[in-house]
Amino acid sequence: MTHRHWDIFCTVIDNYGDIGVTWRLARRLAHDCGREVRLWVDDLDSFARIAPELDPALPQQTLAGIQIRRWPQADFPEDIIPGDVVVEAFGCRLPNRFEEAMAARPAKPVWINLEYLSAEDWTRGYHKLPSPHPQLPLTKHFFFPGFDAASGGLICEDGLIAAREAWQADEEAQRDYWRRRNVPALADHEWKASLFCYENPAAARLLQAWADGPQPVRCLVPEGKAQAAVSGLFDHPLQVGEHAQLGRLTVDVLPMSDQDDYDRLLWSCDFNCVRGEDSLARSQWAARPMLWHIYPQEDEAHLAKLQAFLERYCRGLPEEAAAAIRELNLAWNQDGDIATAWRNAARWLPAWRRHAANWQQQLLEGGDLAHRLLQFVAEVSEIG
């Protein structure tokens, strides 16, 4: 098999999105695509939060058939032979020694900068573009994940959609899941929502709207930054494992889980509030209505990115439904009137749910990110 050995580099910033995406990509390439993957990560403690089997004290270990290496920021090993393909996730800067070792290989590795996920039009002009190294005989290519056939796509494992469909049809499996997560039995008429966001003042107001609404709501909150906003509705900070009730709202705070369990949470809910990049992508495969808290940027560039996603995501919906969904997402990200926006969008939940199922099928036209990445590696190799 050509291009069998892959090196993937990841710098963990301040959340779990970067390592979440790279860990999913590493597993996809190793388990479904038959590649040998070495994953370099600078922060194994953060990595271990989403991969509990990982020992952050070990600088070198194998997990799920993937070689995990701590990425030292100084004194990178001199004896490392680069793989056939090198992926730097989200523009992280490769070690000089590693770049020199890449250049020393008779057959130069295919070098890819895996960019952040975006639906913005400008990314199409940069997707797959080459960038020659200023000193070394190496060329890096930009690769943009996205939401259409002209982009790099999204990670979707073999059999994932069938597994999700089977899960959503299996009520006993879902009941076992809630028991395992220490969530009290859910009533048949309870509407389930997950809440995973950054610090967001709109979160407490959305939960208050659910508490005051006509429908009993069970809100599942993974531990993290959303806890503070949720706790503001009650008279004390909510801890992991705690259950609290306000009006028609019940809140359960869940412990941090691995990626597979988080997928099951998304599959098990009627509505998902997600944040960043990895959970946004995974919510698409849940085929449920979702609300995106995009990572905020000081110059508000994130709002253009949000608008570009909503423009693509809402295509095919009735005009009034699309407008309500856009209004809800903007209120969520701009501290707007989230209660009114929720009431307007909630009227369209049945149509939104049907749209979500159709949308995830459209995303897979042309293959997932790993499939498109492998195709591109083959194309670059033929040209080279």
Per-residue pLDDT of the chain (384 residues; tens, 9 = 90+): 478 999 999 999 766 779 999 999 999 999 999 999 999 999 999 999 999 999 999 999 999 999 999 999 888 999 999 999 999 999 899 999 999 999 999 999 999 999 999 999 999 999 999 999 999 999 999 999 999 999 999 999 999 999 999 999 999 999 999 999 999 888 878 999 999 999 999 999 999 999 999 999 999 999 988 998 889 898 889 999 999 999 999 999 999 899 999 999 999 999 999 999 999 999 999 999 999 999 888 888 899 999 999 999 999 999 999 999 999 999 999 999 999 999 999 999 999 999 999 999 999 999 999 999 999 999 998 765
Structure confidence by residue, pLDDT tens digits, 84-127: 999 999 989 999 999 999 999 999 999 999 999 999 999 999 99
Q: Are 285 and 160 in contact (CB under 8 A)?
A: yes
List the beta bridge partners of residue 275: 293
- pLDDT, residue 314, reads 97
Structure confidence by residue, pLDDT tens digits, 187-209: 878 999 999 999 999 999 999 99
Enumerate residues 6+ apart whose C-beta is below 8 A from 209.
338, 339, 342, 343
- pLDDT, residue 189, reads 87
Round to whole Å and give the CA distance between 194 and 188. Answer: 17
Round to whole Å and give the CA distance between 342 and 330. Answer: 11
What's the pTM value of the predicted model, to 2 decimals?
0.95
- pLDDT, residue 293, reads 97
- pLDDT, residue 336, reads 95
Residues noted as catalytic: 18, 277
Token duo for residue 343? 């009431």
User: What is the end-to-end Cα distance of the chain in Å, rounded?
Assistant: 18
Q: Which amino acid is at 74?
A: A
* Beta-sheet pairing, 66-70 with 36-41: parallel
Q: Give the helix ranges, DSSP H, for the chain.
A: 17-27, 44-50, 96-104, 122-126, 160-169, 171-180, 201-212, 226-231, 259-268, 278-286, 301-313, 319-334, 338-346, 349-363, 369-383
